[in-house]
Amino acid sequence: MFDEQQLAKARAFRHDLHRHPELRYAEVRTSEKVAERLKALGYQVTTGLAGGTGILAELDTGRPGPVIAFRADMDALPILEANTFDHRSTHEGCMHACGHDGHTATLLLAAERIMQDQAQLNGYLKLLFQPAEEGGNGAEAMVKDGVLDNPRVDAVFGYHNRPGFEAGMLFAKAGPAMGGNDTLKVTIKGTSGHSAMPHLAVDPIYVGSGIIQQLQGLVSRHKSPLEAGTITVSAFHAGDAPNVIPGEAELLVNIRSSTAASREAMAGHVEQTVAGICSIHGAQYQLESLHAVPPVINDPEWAETVLEAGRRFGVSDHIELIDYMPTMGAEDFSFYLNEVPGCFFFVGNGTEGAYLHNEHYDFNDEILPVAAGTFVALVRHLMMSSEQAS
């Protein structure tokens, strides 16, 4: 599907991005490089989206057909890279530890091959190069900027590399595929006092410990045991003196959910739980949502379509529909899927390397033909007639 020159160009582009990682909403150089490449390929390119670095590339065939969209994320992480290979990060304390450099190179490789088939395509293609997947809800910003409209997208697709799975394995899960992520800050306002006279104070540490215990009841007694979900209190800050009951405590609560129902069962009842415990002890509280990403829910038919296209055009020797969630990690691709149906699929990154968000991680260049080939296969499967695609 790809010649060696195309693959070499994709690897070189990926290595260049890895050397020059940029954090969420600061992907200026990356965005410029991507837009330049897309324009050279002949796409209609819109820049400056989603806070300034998002890109929409469009291919209108001028013939009736489906409107489909593909997405790649571009941002890096604030991690000091420990790798020593030639394309290691040159930006101290910043690295592509999740493979977004590979995702971007993948979609550019696919974009080049798709343009070679332009005369045989029917319909409309949108390529979304998104900033700020890592905690910035860049997908939500792209949606708000209208990338799924004019014309309205019929189906949207994206992927993530997955360490721990055979390199080049193409797989997808129908329904819940990745977890939702809600991070809440709970501020408990008590009354400070002397540790020798606790009855004259309202102890926010004691109140907070009760909240921590009761939050676990949302997992065990409110969420269905047939659905996945966790609640983690990841921080508890209060006081700094040995003989003083502080007046305030702060909790950070992280909730992972597999469906809208499990999310509501947990995140939807946090305030009720906090309010009840605080009321018993005479404390006040504030609840703030710091970050919220819904679960990734794949449309079953589109998940099957991804794998069918992959088989039809032979993009991988190992293609599988899995029946389990491969991770409870969050992915803001869910904001696209909340608007239009589609599928977020996976490509194995290999079983030997470091896991995501690790200082030793690196995207496996050997999976570029499979990942990009899946996007090309989807275009041929959906936007070509049977005679043209054969």
Which CA distances in Å does 193 have to 77, 247, 381?
A: 42, 8, 70
Sequence-distant (6+) residues with CB within 8 A of 199 are none
| Closest listed residue to residue 93, CA positions, set 83, 82, 80 | 80
Token match 């040995």: residue? Answer: 242
248 has binding-site annotation: no
Identity of the residue numbered 370: V
Candidates 293, 203, 289; CA nearest to 245 is 203
Write out the H or E segment, with its range, that includes residue 320: strand 319-322
4 marked among binding-site residues: no
Q: Check the annotation: does 134 bind a ligand.
A: yes
DSSP string, 45-81: EEEEETTTTEEEEEEE-SS---EEEEEEE---BS---
Q: Is 357 annotated as a binding residue?
A: yes
Helix (H) or strand (E) holding 262: helix 260-266
| Alpha carbons 114 and 82: distance in angstroms, whole number | 36
Q: What is the CA radius of gyration of the chain?
A: 24
98 appears as a binding residue in the annotation: yes
3-state helix, strand, coil in the chain (%, to 5): 35, 30, 35
- Residues 376 and 70 sit within 8 Å (Cβ to Cβ): no
Give the list of residues 6+ apart from residue 352 with CB closer than 8 angstroms, or none: none
Q: Which residues are annotated as a binding site?
A: 98, 100, 134, 160, 357
Q: Which residues are annotated as a binding site for Mn(2+)?
A: 98, 100, 134, 160, 357
